Each structure stands twice: as structure tokens, then as C-alpha cells.
Amino acid sequence: MTFQRKDKQMAHPTDTNQYGDLKQLPQMMSNPHFESIGGEAQIIKLVDRFYQYMDTLPEASHIRAMHETDLSHTRQVLVKFLMEWLGGPKVYSAERGHPRLRQKHLHFSIGEAERDAWMLCMQRAMEDVVTDATLRRQLQQAFFKTADFIRNDKGSTNA
């Protein structure tokens, strides 16, 4: 699968791994798990735990360095994005427009190592916050597809 840009084509990384078939692009705003996860309150807890892990896990230090020191704004944006992505209120797009995740992350070098560090933080946060194992597994697959979609550096691998 390729993405068309006015100036060039970009290949999308496709393969299959432990998280599922990556040949399907993540379908934004089609995930119906907002209520299942516990609504906004649980999403706030998930985001808080996610950034706590990003702040404390040595494996995540390189992706933490990509962020501003004060994560207040970043946390708010991620909460709004996840609420909408999980099928909740469309606050993110009302305030910020279409997510354009890949485009918004192009100024960072994101390869497998960065994707995997992000996923480690999110997996740990989900283990702490999402009590339903089936839901956690579904979200893990969806998060991985999205995180892999954002990759823009095929040369970066796990260290």
C-alpha cells in the first residue's frame, strides 16, 4: 500500500507480527471502546500512567527526550485524541482538525526502537488501568497498528 503525496509516493511499512496484520491502515475514529475502557476518567488515568512510564523507564528515555519538559499540553492532547479514537466525544477533531498523525510526527525520527519504546509505555499503562484482558489485547493491537503507521525511519531498529 502506498500513500500519494503531491510530490512523491511513500511506502507504508507492512508485515505481520505478534500484534497482528499490519497491512490494514488504522481506521481513525472507528474503535468503539470508549465506554468499555471506562470513559474519560479511565483515559485520563491511562495517559497519566503512560507518561509516568515514559518518564521513568530507561528504555523510553530516547522518546521522552522528543517531548517538551512540561507534558501538560501533550497530556491534554493525547486524552482528547484517545477519547475520540476510542469512540467517545469528538473533542480532538473539533479543536484540532483531522489527526494527521504521520504528518504531525514527521519532524521526529521514528523507527522500530521508538515505536517499541512507545508501545512498552502504553502496554505497562494498560496493564495498570485496563482491567479487561480482552479489551487490553484489542487496544494493544490497535495501538501497535497506529504506532507502526507513524514510523518514518526504516533504518532505526531496537537497540
pLDDT tens, 16-49?
444 444 444 344 445 578 999 999 999 999 999 9
Using 50, 70 and 90 to split pLDDT, how confident is the model at 75?
A: very high
Average pLDDT, the chain: 82
Q: Residue 59, exposed/middle/buried by CB under 10 A (0-12, 13-18, 19+)? A: middle
Lowest mean pLDDT among 15-24, 85-94, 124-133, 140-149: 15-24
For residues 100-107, give the mean pLDDT: 77
Would the pLDDT of 80 be above 80?
A: yes
Which of 75-83's residues contact partners 24+ apart within 8 Å by CB, and which partners?
75/47, 75/48, 75/51, 78/47, 78/50, 79/40, 79/43, 79/44, 79/47, 82/43, 82/46, 82/47, 83/34, 83/40, 83/43
Identify the pLDDT of residue 97.
79
Domain 33-150 grouped into CATH 1.10.490.10: yes
- Cell triple for residue 89? 466525544
Claim: this prediction has a pTM higher than 0.85: no
> What is the reported pLDDT for 28?
41
Q: What confidence score (pLDDT) does residue 155 get?
A: 67
Query: Within the chain, what is the greatest distance between any pair of CA atoms?
Result: 46
**Do residues 46 and 129 make contact, with C-beta atoms less than 8 angstroms apart?**
yes
11 closest CA partner among 157, 153, 158, 156? 153
